[in-house]
Amino acid sequence: MKRRTALFLLLVVSGFTAIVLAETRTADLPTVSRVDLARYMGRWFAIAKYPTRFERECERDVTATYSRLENGELEVVNACIQADGKLRVSKGRAKRADENNPAKLKVTFFWPFYVDYWIIDLDPQYRWAVVGEPRRKYLWILSRTPHMDPALYQEITARLASKGYDASKLVPMKQTAR
């Protein structure tokens, strides 16, 4: 009986520690201070990203298109060309995660499951954006154009370490549009 109690307490303490560490990690990911969601709407090209299970079939031409819905949420349409040449499209929705910070969104492609979508770096003219999430499991570098100047890409990736990301994990995306 004492072993069960000790094991139970160990599990409770471990779970509590994991929650505290996750919250601490979440708190230290800064987002951009200001986002005009109306300017953020439209089509973005994925320049580079962390590998993800849900995008593993995407070989090239990865895009995300955002539009505002009447209820205030955003429609998210992700598209890519798979290795077999077929177009793959996923539709989802995004909503504000924090009413005081429009850089923090939650996105779902399979309701009721939402994931964090935080804008952590953004060009003042909305020509490019960097999107991550507090656990640093996902990361995308997005551009309004299919190609990004290599010097700009280096500037953006150089700032990632200060946000807790490893730029060496980024996979460049092939964009065939001109």
- The tens digit of pLDDT for each residue in 34-92 reads 999 999 999 999 999 998 877 888 999 999 999 999 998 999 999 999 999 999 999 99
- Which residues constitute the domain of residue 57? 37-172
Q: What angle do CA 167, 29, 173 make, to 5 degrees?
A: 30
Instruction: Return the pLDDT at 145.
Output: 97
Write the pLDDT tens digit of every residue in 110-145.
888 999 999 999 999 999 999 999 999 999 999 999
**Residue 64: other Cβ atoms inside 10 A:** 22
Same domain, 61 and 135: yes
**Residue 116: other Cβ atoms inside 10 A:** 18
Instruction: Return the pLDDT at 9.
Output: 37
Residue 178 inside a domain? The answer is no
Residue 59 inside a domain? The answer is yes
Same domain, 74 and 1: no
Helix, coil or strand: residue 115 = strand
Q: Which residues pair with 116 in a beta bridge?
A: 106
Number of domains in the chain: 2
Same domain, 58 and 25: no
- Rounded to an integer, what is the distance from CA 70 to the centroid of its chain? 24
Same domain, 8 and 46: no
Same domain, 4 and 82: no
Give phi and psi for 121, each to the nearest 5.
-155, 140
pLDDT at residue 146 greater than cutoff 90: yes
Same domain, 116 and 150: yes
**Residue 151: other Cβ atoms inside 10 A:** 8
Q: What is the largest CA-CA distance in the chain?
A: 69
Q: Which amino acid is at 36?
A: D
Same domain, 63 and 101: yes
